[in-house]
Amino acid sequence: MKRKMLVTLLCVSLTAGMLAGCGSAGQEAPAAPVEEAAEEAPAEEEPAQETPAEEAPAAETYNIGYCNQQMKEDFFITVESAIYTAATNAGYEYNLAITDRDSTKMVTSIETLVTKGADIIVDFNCLPEQGAAAGEKLAAEGIPMLSVDSDYGEGVYFFGVNNYDAGTQLGKSLETFVDDRFGGEVDFVVALWDSQAGDVVKMRCEGATDEIQEKYGLSDDQVVWLDSMADDTKTQSMTRDWLDAHPEAEHIVFVGQNDDRGYAINQAVIAADRVANCLIGSHNADPSSVENLQKNMDDPTATAWVTTMAYNSFLYGEQIVAYVADIMAGGAEMQRYAEISPLTTENVNDYIAERDEVQANFIEH
């Protein structure tokens, strides 16, 4: 009995041990030690999308109708090339009409330019009466007009020189030669002008004659006016006739409305063998006057044609096209003046260097 109990106890103990040995297999395995989570790298921020820059407003473009009186004299050729270059560089449309300074052609040319879409008419005919009428007609169509070197009156914009001031400066330049060569004596001042250009352009001669008359105390009889009618041959013959009629005059100052008049006067003075008795001043600094100054740099007394007013025609285009932009934008002044300066043998080379540099960039057309 005892033995039976002992066996039973042993069996129970064995069973318990076996249960203990197998029991861990039935339990969940202990969880693996939890590693500290590494700090999460911050999520890459998406680059902020740039706000698209506002596009600059497209530059205004305009159609410039340029009505030019001729393409024979250098001043008009240079101004036209300068305007074309400046308009092209600005991205503007440009149309040209040439009138031969005929009032009828001027009217039809402007009409043609308008049919080609001109936003503004730039006119260089120097015909004040016809220009005023054209300006009034264009204004009724909402098209502004800009005149060059000739004032067309109320309602028409003007670009060019202050003619009277230009004349005054020319007079002062001539006075330096009067004092140096003539000992401050003047017998006559003779002005050759073009009546067709109008009273405003005439002022470039009046400024000079007034300046000289006042400084040297001349009477009105000593101031002579000859109407050349814009004719070179007539200018030369009129000058020669006047010189031949005044053989006793030893101190004569000639004033030419432009260098074409100056050139013709100079030819007459040379032909009459009166270089020592004459001084000539004119306007525009065209090649004829500039070359004459260069040629006589070594001996300035060898020429009577001693000075010309430089209007810097090679800069007209840049200034005119800038003025056009201001006019079209609204609020521009009605008159804008070009910068000018007198040329003599002393500063002509500096002028040539600047002129050549600008003209080298003109666009051929």
Domain for residue 352, yes or no? no
Name the maximum alpha-carbon separation found in the chain: 184
- Looking at the fold, whether 172 and 304 belong to one and the same domain comes out as yes
Domain for residue 42, yes or no? no
Domain for residue 362, yes or no? no
- Looking at the fold, whether 85 and 155 belong to one and the same domain comes out as yes
Exposed, middle or buried, 215 (CB in 10 Å: 0-12/13-18/19+)? middle
Answer yes or no: is pLDDT of 11 > 50: no
- DSSP structure string for 93-112: EEEEEE-TT-HHHHHHHHHH
**Distance of alpha carbon 288 from alpha carbon 358, whole angstroms:** 19
Domain for residue 198, yes or no? yes
Strands 341-343 and 305-310: antiparallel
- Looking at the fold, whether 144 and 222 belong to one and the same domain comes out as no
Q: What share of the chain is helix, strand, coil (3-state, %, to 5)?
A: 50, 15, 35
pLDDT digits (tens, 9 = 90+) for 200-224: 889 999 999 999 999 999 999 999 9
Mean of per-residue pLDDT scores for the chain:
87
Q: Mark out the alpha helices in the chain (DSSP H runs).
A: 2-26, 74-89, 103-115, 128-140, 163-181, 199-216, 232-245, 259-271, 287-295, 316-329, 348-359
Q: Compare 274 and 31 and report the one with higher pLDDT.
A: 274
- Looking at the fold, whether 137 and 179 belong to one and the same domain comes out as no
Residue type, 170: L
Domain for residue 241, yes or no? yes
Q: Which domain holds residue 150?
A: 63-161+314-339
The helix (run of H) or strand (run of E) holding residue 341 is strand 341-343
- Looking at the fold, whether 288 and 253 belong to one and the same domain comes out as yes
pLDDT at 283: 96
- Looking at the fold, whether 299 and 174 belong to one and the same domain comes out as yes
CATH of the domain at 228: 3.40.50.2300
Token pair 């820059």: residue: 53
- Looking at the fold, whether 146 and 274 belong to one and the same domain comes out as no
Answer yes or no: is pLDDT of 348 > 90: yes
Q: Compare 51 and 204 and report the one with higher pLDDT.
A: 204
Domain for residue 105, yes or no? yes
- Looking at the fold, whether 222 and 332 belong to one and the same domain comes out as no
- Looking at the fold, whether 141 and 251 belong to one and the same domain comes out as no
Query: pLDDT grade, residue 75 (50/70/90)?
Result: confident
- Looking at the fold, whether 229 and 216 belong to one and the same domain comes out as yes
pLDDT at 293: 98
**Distance of alpha carbon 302 from alpha carbon 279, whole angstroms:** 11
Answer yes or no: is pLDDT of 119 > 70: yes
- Looking at the fold, whether 239 and 322 belong to one and the same domain comes out as no
- Looking at the fold, whether 210 and 272 belong to one and the same domain comes out as yes
Query: pLDDT grade, residue 50 (50/70/90)?
Result: low
Domain count for the chain: 2
pLDDT digits (tens, 9 = 90+) for 171-210: 999 999 999 999 999 999 999 999 988 888 899 999 999 9
Q: What is the dihedral of CA 196, 197, 200, 206, to 10 degrees?
A: -80
